Structure 1
Amino acid sequence: MTTLRASALVILLLSLAACSSGGLGTSDDNPFAPPVDTSKEAVDGLVVGWRLMEAGEYELALDAFARHAVDHGTTPELKAAVGTAYIGLGRLGQAETLLRESLKEGPDHPETWNNLGVVLMEKGELPEAELVFRKAYALDNGESDSIRDNLRLALAKSENPGYDDGKTQDYKLVRRGSSDYLIRQTP
């Protein structure tokens, strides 16, 4: 009789165990996402924004920069980043305003000077663009190829402004590195 009770108890425990929903762990066929670990620190919005700009997602980068601004305020680095995103979106007026504000607060960033020069070139303000590229080149000590190429283009255009061979020359912005642009002639 005791063996009958013991075997009945084992069968009952096994059948109850079969009814559980995964025991201590979750099952693999759970349709819900795992819980978020809030004990870890989030990635900085500025880093996320630059990564999104590398992927060509400028609007999403602006959202990431806004999240960064909530935590850290509007720093010169943030203004330069948002201005660079505006260049990618073609909002040259807004980009120029933010890049100038950034340079008033932190005038020693050659990438920001370069990006301002790119905006000025795109707007057709060649004399000021040339001065801005010279400043960027001086701050960079001539180490950046993109800044040097942009300065060469600005000098060539300013030395020969009346030259027109009947062809329209189209230029495009090419992103180089994490925060600077290069003006290239389209073939």
Structure 2
Amino acid sequence: MILATAAFAAVASCTSSELGKGPYPPGVDPKGQAVDGVEVGNRLMEAGEYELALDAFTRAALDQGMTTEILTSIGTANLGLGRLGQAEMLLRRAVEDDPEWPVAWNNLGVLLMEKGEYSEAANVFERAFALSNGESDAIGDNLRLALAKMENPDNNGPQEEQELRLVRRGEGEFVIRKSP
């Protein structure tokens, strides 16, 4: 009890900069500024919370406009929710707006795989892989899966090998999780 009280007193005497993020909840800084809606949405996507992520991306669009990143993010959240028509419209618009961004191409490829359009998906993944200079393992894995599905559409290997990877700006990537 004495040790816990001493630890609490030591922590209480620190400033928030000494504690890192301080006592504030994730997503809010001490000055009352909200964290970027795209980052919040990406965190929610990682957690599989696609509906909440969609809300965060929509709020980000109000602040930043409908950028290619936000189009891709909203499309990807819709993909996670199984809204393939909405997702396709948004992802195709994203690749039109920025045809040099491999993330949008990859996520469009994932959508096409979900629809069973393996040939077009393979072409899209090839483009995404080329745009990433062959440096994205996730896109390379998706391309290999699309090519294998083209050769043998009935191929149903182990689930781990069949997970398609959605990617986002930066280091992170998402995996679409199927409901049991």
TM-score, structure 2 as length reference = 0.69
The 10-residue stretch of structure 1 (130-139 or 103-112) with the greater mean CA deviation from structure 2: 103-112
* Contact preservation (8 Å) 2:138, 2:165: no
Q: Match for 1:121: what amino acid?
A: M
Q: Match for 2:64: what amino acid?
A: H
Q: From 79, 85, 104, give the equivalent of 1:87.
A: 79
Instruction: For 1:122-161, list aligned pairs within 5 A.
Output: 122-161=114-153
Runs of 4+ in 1 over 6 A off after TM superposition: 167-170
Aligned length: 146
> What is the CA-CA distance between 1:160 and the residue it aligns to?
3.7
Q: Which has the larger radius of gyration?
A: 1
Taking only aligned residues, the RMSD between alpha carbons, in angstroms, comes to: 3.0
Q: Match for 1:145: what amino acid?
A: D
SS of the residue aligned with 2:35? coil
* Contact preservation (8 Å) 1:79, 1:101: yes
SS of the residue aligned with 2:48? coil
> What is the CA-CA distance between 1:145 and the residue it aligns to?
1.2
Q: Match for 2:172: what amino acid?
A: S
> What is the CA-CA distance between 1:129 and the residue it aligns to?
0.8
SS of the residue aligned with 1:96? helix
Which residue matches 2:89?
A: 97
Identity %: 59
Whole-Å separation in 1 of the counterparts to 2:124 and 2:76: 16
Instruction: For 1:23-102, list aligned pairs within 5 A.
Output: 39-102=31-94
The 10-residue stretch of structure 1 (96-105 or 36-45) with the greater mean CA deviation from structure 2: 36-45
1:115-156 deviation line (CA, Å, top 9, x unaligned): 111111111111111110110110011111111111111112
> What is the CA-CA distance between 1:41 and the residue it aligns to?
2.2
Which residue matches 1:178?
A: 172
CA separation of 1:174/1:147 partners in 2, compared to 1, >3 Å: closer, same or farther?
closer
Whole-Å separation in 2 of the counterparts to 1:160 and 1:75: 37
* Contact preservation (8 Å) 2:41, 2:52: yes
Q: Match for 1:178: what amino acid?
A: G
Q: Structure 2: any 5+ residue segments left out of the alignment?
A: 1-27
* Contact preservation (8 Å) 2:122, 2:147: yes
The answer as to 2:107 corresponding to 1:115 is yes
Q: Structure 1: any 5+ residue segments left out of the alignment?
A: 1-35
